[in-house]
Structure 1
Amino acid sequence: MNNANYKFFLKLAGIFSILGAITTSLLIFLPNPVAADFESQTLLFENKLYLTKLWILFIHPQVNIIASLGIACILFKKYPTQMIVGSLFLLVWAYTEMSQQSLLIDTLNQIWRPNYVNAESEITKSMFKSLINAANGISDSKYFLVIYGFGLGSFLYGTALIQENGLGKWIGVSLLFIGILSLCSFTRYYLGISSLNKPVNWFYEWIYSYLQPIVRIAIGIWIFRRIKTEHNNVYN
């Protein structure tokens, strides 16, 4: 990659990290539609807020993985193991979350739920009800990979950035916290460690919800600072 393309990619990564802060904030702070029972949930395919959040969830990993690869480009020579392995797990997270949302946007909310509502026979209705129920299990199995890949990838990036100075070190500490918290959440959900529920829920509500968007902004600022530093090093 020549210097102009490298610099362009890093600028793109910095911009996308800021966009990632916006998508993160929207996902955290936009309200979730109330749908207490199965019949109410089947009508969510007509709910604009619900569908908007699914589309944001589809875009969210795309902008953030580009930002993460920007970090990897900058730090690869210093920390090749963390950057290669961490990027692998973050790519698993990004691709899986995109596929999860495509399942929910297309299959569940454009096919199965509308066909259930418009079914003209009980046999057809029962068939689509079974498919809708199955979608929950399929989506959860994808979330298994989402939270695992995101947790490990964030943790590995954190172990590299914590060795940097200034803002980079702060980002590293934050990513280590986010990675550990994600892996603790994975542990409580899929290994049945219920004693983690209360502290993990508390950290998600009072720290993670505010820390995650701030970290995304900080990464964007850090990338732009590194572009400026590398530019000055070339011409000084």
Structure 2
Amino acid sequence: MYKSKNGRLFLKIAAICSFAGALTTALLIFLPNPEAPDFESRVMLFENSLYLTKLWILFLHPQLNLIASLGVAFLLLKKYPWQIILGTLFLLIWALTEMSQQALLIDALNQIWRPGYMAAAGEADKTAYETLIQAANGISDSKYFLVIYGFGLGSLFFGLAFIREEGFGKWIGWALVFIGLLSLSSFGRYYLGLSFLNPPVNFSYTYIYPYLQPLVRIAIGLWIFKAIMRSQDS
């Protein structure tokens, strides 16, 4: 199927999205976070261009990487159906949840509630906005619950498909298995109280993940392009 003109076009789009996803990953990891140590400084983040830019990158990031994942699914579905179907389901949960999380922060928190707090004339209005702002943290964290759960399982299942490939694909597979297990371990320590996971997870997120994740995105894009070239040669 991917030997057709439309199939190759979709795969090219998926590969480009994977490269773009590597860029958004690197930006999210290495761009600094604005300092906001207290409530009043956090309220003023709605005027901070770096903070808002990172929210928009976070909104685009899952879209790019989901399209790249659909390119992988397009190529591997017939060979590894259960891994790819389950992986696609959980990556879809991740992508849609992360998009909705960033929509909450971009729109409700930073376009309505924080400016409303600053413009509030009376104490009652100020208190109401403060309650909404504080509640946004809990709502966002509940969405993060689904984000790392869906991303962890989705990455793991895609990794289990890739490790059955040869050469380059197998390397991608083991990297995705590691990323999936790391995300699920982070889920375990945050939401299941598995504090013994803190040292290895902290080490991995500090010294391995920031470099591995963008490289995996680049590798997936190259793998998709190699599949396109093979189809043209055959």
The question of a shared fold, defined as TM-score above 0.5 by the shorter chain, is answered with yes
- Taking the TM superposition and a 5 Å limit, the aligned residue runs for 1:58-97 are 58-97=59-98
Following superposition, the deviation at residue 180 of structure 1 comes to: 0.2
Following superposition, the deviation at residue 5 of structure 1 comes to: 1.1
| Structure-1 residue corresponding to 2:49 | 48
Following superposition, the deviation at residue 232 of structure 1 comes to: 1.5
Unpaired segments of 5 or more residues in structure 1? none
SS of equivalent to 2:35: coil
Matched, 1:107 2:124: no
Aligned equivalents of 1:200, 1:36: Cα separation in 2: 25
Paired AA for residue 103 in structure 1 = L
- Taking the TM superposition and a 5 Å limit, the aligned residue runs for 1:165-176 are 165-176=166-177
Following superposition, the deviation at residue 118 of structure 1 comes to: 1.1
Following superposition, the deviation at residue 194 of structure 1 comes to: 1.1
- Identical-pair percentage: 66
| Structure-2 residue corresponding to 1:9 | 10
| Structure-2 residue corresponding to 1:227 | 228
Aligned equivalents of 1:57, 1:167: Cα separation in 2: 28
Return structure 1 stretches of 4+ with deviation > 6 angstroms: none
Root-mean-square deviation (CA, aligned residues, Å) is: 0.8
- May I ask how many residue pairs the two structures share in their alignment? 233
Following superposition, the deviation at residue 38 of structure 1 comes to: 0.7
Aligned equivalents of 2:213, 2:43: Cα separation in 1: 31
| Structure-1 residue corresponding to 2:211 | 210
Following superposition, the deviation at residue 195 of structure 1 comes to: 1.3
| Structure-2 residue corresponding to 1:182 | 183
Aligned equivalents of 1:195, 1:112: Cα separation in 2: 38
Following superposition, the deviation at residue 197 of structure 1 comes to: 1.2
Aligned equivalents of 1:112, 1:202: Cα separation in 2: 36
The Cα offsets for residues 74-104 of structure 1, whole Å up to 9 and x where unpaired, read as 0011001111110000000000000000000
Paired AA for residue 41 in structure 2 = S
Paired AA for residue 110 in structure 1 = Q
Unpaired segments of 5 or more residues in structure 2? none
